[in-house]
Amino acid sequence: MIFRLSPKKSRSFYGWVILFAVTVGVLASAPGQTMGIATFTDYLLENIHISRNQLSIAYMIGTIASSMLLTYAGKMYDKYGARWVGMIISVTLGFVLILLSQSDRIIHLFVKDGSSTVYIPLSMAVLMFLFFALRFSGQGVLTMVSRNMLMKWFIARRGLVNGISSVFVAFGFQWHR
């Protein structure tokens, strides 16, 4: 049996619960934001043995590629709703973060020798895919689902609730640094 909260049975306006959930959702997207990835830049450079330029190129290509699929994700949001898309993308984000934490080991599964001619291209390809998945799930879809859910629940007070959420998100992102 699926546990489901019924907003109609709530004594107060359920939108305030949604405001809290949205704020948590946007905060949970922090690892997919640039500032979340920047935290691990030195670790990636040290363990994968690529240049900062190569890491930046992989990040840029992953970001651009993820932006190309956001329209499709929006259609999935329209078709299946915020609950399903948000849940699936949250699990995906967690899985991608686990993979990214093991990126050096994943690369070494395919190429043992760091001086091999295929090491850098393979490292770049793995990082491009992981950055694509991270940016798509975290910064892209999770943020989109959260923000759109808030806008669906509030009509008359959209500016107010968006401001309230944004203040807490700003504090949360600042704390993350």
CA proximity to 24, closest of 169, 170, 157: 169
129 within 8 A of 123, measured Cβ to Cβ = no
Assess if residue 60 is contained within a domain.
yes
Count the domains in the chain: 1
Assess if residue 133 is contained within a domain.
yes
Q: What DSSP line would sit under 23-90, residue for residue? A: HHHHHHTGGGSHHHHHTTHHHHHHHH---HHHHHHHHHHHHHHHHHTHHHHHHHHHHHHHHHHHHHHH
| Mean pLDDT of the region 8-22 | 80
Identity at 14, one-letter amino acid code = Y
How high is the pLDDT of residue 94?
Answer: 94
Assess if residue 3 is contained within a domain.
no
Assess if residue 64 is contained within a domain.
yes
CA proximity to 143, closest of 38, 37, 24: 24
Assess if residue 68 is contained within a domain.
yes
| Mean pLDDT of the region 136-152 | 91
Assess if residue 96 is contained within a domain.
yes
Q: Is the predicted pLDDT of residue 69 greater than 60, yes or no?
A: yes
Record the pTM: 0.85
Assess if residue 57 is contained within a domain.
yes
How high is the pLDDT of residue 17?
Answer: 87
Question: Any idea what the Cα angle at residue 87 is, between residues 23 and 12, rounded to 5°?
Answer: 50
Q: Is the predicted pLDDT of residue 70 greater than 90, yes or no?
A: yes
Distance (Å, rounded) from C-alpha 15 to C-alpha 8?
A: 11
How high is the pLDDT of residue 154?
Answer: 87
Q: Is the predicted pLDDT of residue 130 greater than 70, yes or no?
A: yes
Range of the domain at 51: 32-176
| Mean pLDDT of the region 31-52 | 88
How high is the pLDDT of residue 80?
Answer: 94
Assess if residue 12 is contained within a domain.
no
18 within 8 A of 153, measured Cβ to Cβ = yes
